[in-house]
Amino acid sequence: MSRDRQSAIERLRSRRQFVARAAAGTVVVALGGLYVFTDDLTAAARAETRKDGRPRVPPGQRVISALKPMGGEPGDPNPARARLRVHGEVDAPFELTYAELLALPQLDLALDVHCVTGWSVLGARFRGVGVKALAERARVRPRARYVIFEAAHGYTANVPLREALAPNVLVAHALEGRPLARAHGGPLRAVVPDLYFWKSAKWLTGIRFTTRDEPGYWETRGYHNHGDPWREERYA
């Protein structure tokens, strides 16, 4: 048996409990990434309702077992070199090292995330610092209306200020109890769970507060400027 084949089998075994729970539904396992679709889990989640009255799973989405990396041009993987700049329409701009971010009060949140390509992951456990707490430290000016998440290689994503300051919006450094993998945006990424996942900029380098909207990388390439999954705001 080849080493690659043996490794694939071991990864499958690690998923056996998940697959057993999903056995009553339709399960598709992709050996390359082990993303498990199950119609039973999707149907069950669609029957659940969020606190705001919306269904837990937005229209057009199917539940999978783990986050897909979804590509992009990675930033520097070394946490020791990571810097997060908080600036723009603020009275007290500042910059944090990775260690300084970890020293701030942390949030551990189980979040549902929804990709514009049609997959959702429910209850992904992220750890990080709330964007709201960073905004309070920076003393955002009253005229600010938007947050621009800045990332490696000039990538940006725009989010209305009110939504960026929601209590479930994070600068995350860990996923499922482990440091955030480079493929998922490590060392730091934004997590904006109530918008399509492209808004959750990977390889995060800055949070900039602005008075005007600045459509980002995908928004200027035909994707919707807002990106609400429940309204299926996929494309402009």
Residues 114 and 158 in one domain: yes
Q: How confident is the model at residue 35 (pLDDT cuts 50, 70, 90)?
A: low
Lowest mean pLDDT, pick from 5-14, 32-41, 130-139, 161-170: 5-14
Type of residue numbered 187: P
Whether the pLDDT of residue 20 is over 50: the answer is no
Q: What is the pLDDT, as a whole number, of residue 41?
A: 78
Residues 57 and 83 in one domain: no
Last residue of a domain, one of 11, 34, 63: 63
pTM reported for the whole predicted model: 0.84
Q: How confident is the model at residue 38 (pLDDT cuts 50, 70, 90)?
A: low
Instruction: Give the structural domain span for 19.
Output: 3-63
Whether the pLDDT of residue 188 is over 60: the answer is yes
Give per-residue pLDDT as tens, 140-156.
999 999 999 999 999 99
Residues 59 and 152 in one domain: no
Q: Is residue 69 part of a domain?
A: no
Q: Which residue has the higher pLDDT, 51 or 20?
A: 51
Whether the pLDDT of residue 115 is over 70: the answer is yes
Q: Which residue has the higher pLDDT, 215 or 14?
A: 215
- The strand pair at 170-175 and 107-114 is best described as unpaired
Question: What is the Cα–Cα distance from 12 to 206, expressed in whole angstroms?
Answer: 38
Give per-residue pLDDT as tens, 190-214.
999 999 999 999 999 999 999 999 9
CATH number at residue 210: 3.90.420.10
**Taking residues 81-105, what's their average pLDDT?**
98
**Taking residues 110-136, what's their average pLDDT?**
97
Whether the pLDDT of residue 101 is over 60: the answer is yes
Q: What is the pLDDT, as a whole number, of residue 5?
A: 44
Q: How confident is the model at residue 10 (pLDDT cuts 50, 70, 90)?
A: very low
DSSP 13: H
Q: How confident is the model at residue 29 (pLDDT cuts 50, 70, 90)?
A: very low
Q: Is residue 236 part of a domain?
A: no
**Taking residues 67-73, what's their average pLDDT?**
92
Among candidates 19, 105, 134, which has minimal Cα distance to 66? 19
Instruction: Please give the torsion angle defined by the CA atoms of residues 37, 233, 56 and 18, in that order, rounded to the nearest 10 degrees.
Output: 20
Among candidates 162, 155, 166, which has minimal Cα distance to 201? 155
Q: Is residue 70 part of a domain?
A: no
Type of residue numbered 166: A
Residues 108 and 57 in one domain: no
Domain count, the chain: 2
Token digits for 157? 């994503």
Q: Is residue 128 part of a domain?
A: yes
Token digits for 117? 């390509």
Residues 12 and 95 in one domain: no
Q: Is residue 26 part of a domain?
A: yes
Q: Is residue 68 part of a domain?
A: no
Q: Is residue 73 part of a domain?
A: no
Last residue of a domain, one of 36, 63, 90: 63
Q: Is residue 74 part of a domain?
A: no
Residues 28 and 104 in one domain: no
Type of residue numbered 202: K
Residues 116 and 210 in one domain: yes
Last residue of a domain, one of 14, 34, 63: 63
